[in-house]
Structure 1
Amino acid sequence: MKKRFLYMLFPLLTMMGSCDKYLDVNKNVDAPDYVEGYLYLANIIQQYQGIYWDYRAIGPLTQMMGTTNSTYTSFANHYYALASDAGGELWRMVYWNQGMNLENMINQSLEAEDWTLAGIGYALKAFSWDALTKVHGELPMKDAFVPGLLSHNYDYQDEIYAQIREWARKAIELLEREDNHNYGTKISANDFIYAGDKSKWIKFAHAVIVRNLASLSNKKDFKDKYAQELIEAASKSFQSADDDATVKVTGGSQSAPYSNYNNFWGTARANLSYSFFQHEYAVQVFTGTVPEYDPATGDKIRVEGNSYYPYKLAEKQIIADTLVNQSGHFDPRVAVKLGTTSNPNYISIGNADTVKSYKFYGGSFTSTAGSVGTAPSFYGRNASSTYSGATNDGIGRWIYRDDAPYILTTYAEIQFCLAETYWKLDRKAEAFEAFKKAVAADMATTARYIYPGKEGSPTGGDKITRELFNQLANEYVNGPFVNGLADFTLSHIMMQKWAALYPWGALEAWVDMRKYHYDIEYSGEYPTNGNGWIQAQLEQKKDTDNSKVYKGLYLLPAQVQNRKGSYNIYNEGSPCYRLRPRYNSEYMWNIPALEKLKPIAGTANNYHTSIPWFAYPGDMPR
């Protein structure tokens, strides 16, 4: 009999039904050596909380979040010290938490001809590895699970990308096979994403292909080599927001037998608390208050008579504007996705005038103090999260609730990928149709997780009813920023995608920002030292530049007001393009493999600035 090892790092598990089954999994009475394939599934799926762990590093890189957490402020400044596992949870998830559990599940299921379970396994593997390489770049792939190896060579990203699509295609092939095995509830009871629905898992595998290829949209051969496959995969992927891929979370708050039963972002686990908060860029985008900067000085232009936002606004706002009393100009997602201290007692949260009067503030990269006010917590108070007392956050709100699911990918995201692809193919009418579907779908996804607070009671919840949100969402979608949009541009696609991904999809938002090189002003195919940045200064496109994708986005060293800083000297002027591999895995045990990486060695002080293959228009220099 082959020996197989079962790694269970969390109480088995977060949401597994029968304790008796867990205790009777071994053929060897002395040590675990065999587990039925389906018993791996619950644990594998629940490990996706690891992505939310790492959003504390990735969120600040995308200007979705700011942070005062000393472990993560360095990510907000695009540099972080080497000797830390911060930002390494996804690495741990793929190689260890899922790791051999997933390999065993796939291999045992293939051996037993359990095609459905094997197909789900391949779909999960493709999704996890796609996320991992987008964050870290090169990875040990061929050597990953080879028994007996004490060091593991790295594979380059072009090979990893191709393999991910192969795994996704294998998932589809297996899931489409006739499978007459009677699983009973073995799969449905342990599948916390689709409860064993094969049709949805097939759509999910197609979604992985779409997301994988969408990150290549700025490559020179995208139109000829990748675009058509993306379009075909999108047509077979999610068909509505009902197909969204989410991991169900039990919750239970303080009564839960294990804290991991609660959402990582919920109040019971206090991982966001008040040390993470919305960045002022997010507030500017959602409220239509992206400022205009003086082209000569880079300073904002102060105006009188507006105590809430005392600066001149850019003429072209992409997501919304401040004409909130005109139908379709107010984006109701702002009242759900962002936190506000307005209306602490939840009075008249079903009244449009009340909701439209809310004020929103964002912080800077590493301080709750922003340029026009103080950012609240994600729960809506200028205080650390608490679940008890006369004034508290209860069990949270929206996807910051103890029982909120982990969102992996959505129909809206797939439609935005499709819209961008059509745009690149100069099929603007089809791009616009996909764009409209995408925004409408994000409204449906956003509304699904609204849990209104109790009127008159400052004890947590959302400050808008689902009914009012849907009414305002319908007005917005049919208004001048979506269906009635007259000057459709790539910025509308990518910034609406950024808004849809906020903040659960920070990883993919960071992919998009990097493939468009943060809108850095440079010549040639990609920015380099002296061509886009120097040691203490970074040149970004002005918002008036038609080629600038993310209007209002400026990095820390950009030459505009409230930026004009500089990166750590080791960056050599460059922003961050990847996270380092997990320290306690690679820098403790795999240094020789890291040293061999090109064009920047994995041991170099500026390895985090090494541009990944997906962001190079051509081949990556080696």
Structure 2
Amino acid sequence: MKKIIYIFTALLTIGIASSCKKFVDINDNPNAPTSVDASTLLPPMLAGMARGNWYDSRYIGQYVQIWGAPTALNVWDQEGYIPGSDSGGEMWRTVYFSLGQNVNLMMQDAIAGKKYDYIGVGWALRAWGWQNGADEYNNMVIKEAYDPTKLTFNYDSPDYVYAEVVKDCQTALNYLNLAINTNGNTSASLAKGDYMYYGDLLKWRKFVYAILAQNTLHLSNKSTFNADLVKKYVDSSFVSNADNASVQCTGSQSGDANFWGPTRGNIPSFRQSDYIVKLLDGRILASATEQDTLADPRLPLLLARSKDRAFRGVVAPLGDPNTADANISIPAMAGATTANSGTPSAKYIFNDNSRGVLMTYSELQFFVSETLFKKGDLQGAYTTYINGVKGALDFVSNPPIGSSLTGTQKYISQTAIDSYLAGPSVRQNAAALQLSDILQQKFISLFVWGAPEAWSDMRRYDYSTSIFQGYVIPTTIYPDNAGKQVYRLRPRYNSEYIWNVPALKLIGALDADYHTKKPWFVLP
């Protein structure tokens, strides 16, 4: 087992501590305003949320076998990590840098101007950050996070972080309700900086309830878990794909293009997994060999064909075993046209101007289906399962391109959708429904954009192959894992392992196998 060596420059830290406060006190930059209008701060924060989700999804997507590397023994395909690297630390950066003090500054201006809409949104962003951060890293810094007198920060326990999510959501709801009572359902002021919901306060309120539902669901292994609470929150949240939480991407150049689009070029280095191919071609859900009549109509939109036109995938960590007809990179460009512009585009959300997706209606329906199934309400579970499948099909058929979620031209015909819903890959009644059906359809619905949520599911069920049928535990595991599977990401290297080593030691994050330790939310 390799030793992990961290360098901490104590003398440099002491020097900074003794001089920093005085420097800040006397050196205000006249070109950098200390007070900024809330509308100018919100857009980059929303972009940061999407960035945090996207960047870490590259590696989490390998953990859950959405995709893999084309070459054998890739570190992430072995459920490992790269020491001394920020890879897997982007959500940490999002919480403390992209959001961080920017949320404080936005709310500072909003409080002074009684902009209840921006205050509510600020607390919603905080809650979203804590939720996603805790899901990936377990321990987070909350109490000391914004103390300017500190250079090292103690981590709060994960139960405290999850409780903070609920607290911040309730505060967000209080201010959003106050904004609705003051301004009505739409805020022109918020619309100036809001590239998610364009000032629609009702949709922002639904988003907060979606965070609460996710927070509650993720604690499903706890004795205090309340399935009815998940349903209550979802019933107050998204009612269709028109409510989905997604961030506008202009696509005019690399800096404002969708992460999965051709201009950014982030995904072509990956290859679709054998697992996702088998979920879509009917071999798992339909329990049959690959046949076009059983294939999911989403298959040609989500995945790429090999040169011989067959769909194949890689098996982690073996790389691409197909030498004669090797897998091509995903996504494959198609001659399809967007529903809005009529111009050539990529498929699914692989356009430069496709919106950056954070949460969807179908995802929430699967939340409820899972919890009702475990509660014993099979009919309720089946109804929401079908809602989830229909919502996911609709999402792919009408992907969030540009600023609209709908259009006259669909990527999947209604005939194909109806055929799939009536086919063997979809359960036809409540008695036939299994937990694996719910979670595997949810896995498909999360393809590309929702890898972190898929990983939360797999960890809650300890990578069970009876639930995630067709998932194959890697034959070669990263040496530091000591044969165990991965359960958490390490905190961001360039902030924590450089400057915050004493606090890391207290939570065991200097251990070589730290990333294999189960996070609090999956424990009983």
Q: Give deviations 1:186-223, integer Å, cap 9, x for gaps.
A: 4213211100100000100000011111111222332x
- Select the residue among 440, 443, 453 that pairs with 1:495: 440
The alpha-carbon deviation at position 30 of structure 1 amounts to: 4.1
Structure 1 CA distance, aligned partners of 2:322 and 2:40? 51
Q: How does 1:473-488 map to 2 (within 5 A)?
A: 473-482=417-426, 484-485=428-429, 487-488=432-433
Unaligned runs of 5+ in 2: 1-27, 334-343, 402-408
1:266 counterpart letter in structure 2? G
The alpha-carbon deviation at position 181 of structure 1 amounts to: 6.0
What is the match of residue 155 of structure 1?
156
Structure 1 CA distance, aligned partners of 2:471 and 2:61? 14
What is the match of residue 197 of structure 1?
200
- Select the residue among 594, 599, 609 that pairs with 2:516: 609
The alpha-carbon deviation at position 111 of structure 1 amounts to: 3.6
- Select the residue among 246, 256, 261 that pairs with 1:261: 256
Aligned residues: 476
Asked whether 1:510 is paired with 2:455, we answer yes
What is the match of residue 274 of structure 2?
280
Contact persistence 1:268–1:395 (CA under 8 A): no
What is the match of residue 378 of structure 1?
330
Asked whether 1:250 is paired with 2:202, we answer no
What is the match of residue 427 of structure 1?
377
Structure 1 CA distance, aligned partners of 2:71 and 2:122? 36
Q: How does 1:52-201 map to 2 (within 5 A)?
A: 52-68=54-70, 73-178=74-179, 180=182, 185-201=188-204
Greater shift in the superposed pair: 486-495 or 510-519: 486-495
Structure 1 CA distance, aligned partners of 2:200 and 2:45? 17
Structure 1 CA distance, aligned partners of 2:437 and 2:61? 21
Q: Give deviations 1:378-429, integer Å, cap 9, x for gaps.
A: 1228xxxxxxxxxxxx863321211111110001000000001101211111
What is the match of residue 51 of structure 2?
49
Structure 2 CA distance, aligned partners of 1:188 and 1:320? 50
Contact persistence 1:570–1:605 (CA under 8 A): yes
Q: How does 1:225-240 map to 2 (within 5 A)?
A: 226-240=226-240
- Select the residue among 205, 208, 212 that pairs with 1:209: 212
Structure 1 CA distance, aligned partners of 2:197 and 2:499? 38
Structure 2 CA distance, aligned partners of 1:421 and 1:555? 26
- Select the residue among 353, 371, 377 that pairs with 1:403: 353
2:265 counterpart letter in structure 1? A
Structure 1 CA distance, aligned partners of 2:396 and 2:379? 26
Contact persistence 1:243–1:411 (CA under 8 A): yes
Asked whether 1:362 is paired with 2:305, we answer no
- Select the residue among 366, 373, 379 that pairs with 1:416: 366
CA distance 1:467–1:105, change in 2 (3 Å): closer
Q: Report the RMSD for the aligned CA atoms in angstroms.
A: 2.5
The alpha-carbon deviation at position 330 of structure 1 amounts to: 3.1
SS at match of 2:108: helix
The alpha-carbon deviation at position 342 of structure 1 amounts to: 6.5
Q: TM-score, normalised by structure 1?
A: 0.72
2:448 counterpart letter in structure 1? P
Higher relative contact order (CA 8 A, sep 6+): 2
CA distance 1:472–1:45, change in 2 (3 Å): same
Asked whether 1:335 is paired with 2:282, we answer no
The alpha-carbon deviation at position 449 of structure 1 amounts to: 2.2
What is the match of residue 10 of structure 1?
none
What is the match of residue 538 of structure 1?
none
Structure 1 CA distance, aligned partners of 2:150 and 2:500? 11
Contact persistence 2:138–2:158 (CA under 8 A): yes
1:195 counterpart letter in structure 2? Y
Q: Give deviations 1:2-57, integer Å, cap 9, x for gaps.
A: xxxxxxxxxxxxxxxxxxxxxxxxx9844321101221111111112221111111
Asked whether 1:436 is paired with 2:386, we answer yes
Structure 2 CA distance, aligned partners of 1:555 and 1:44? 37
Structure 2 CA distance, aligned partners of 1:181 and 1:51? 32
Contact persistence 1:515–1:615 (CA under 8 A): yes
Structure 2 CA distance, aligned partners of 1:227 and 1:609? 28
Structure 1 CA distance, aligned partners of 2:351 and 2:412? 20
Structure 2 CA distance, aligned partners of 1:181 and 1:434? 34
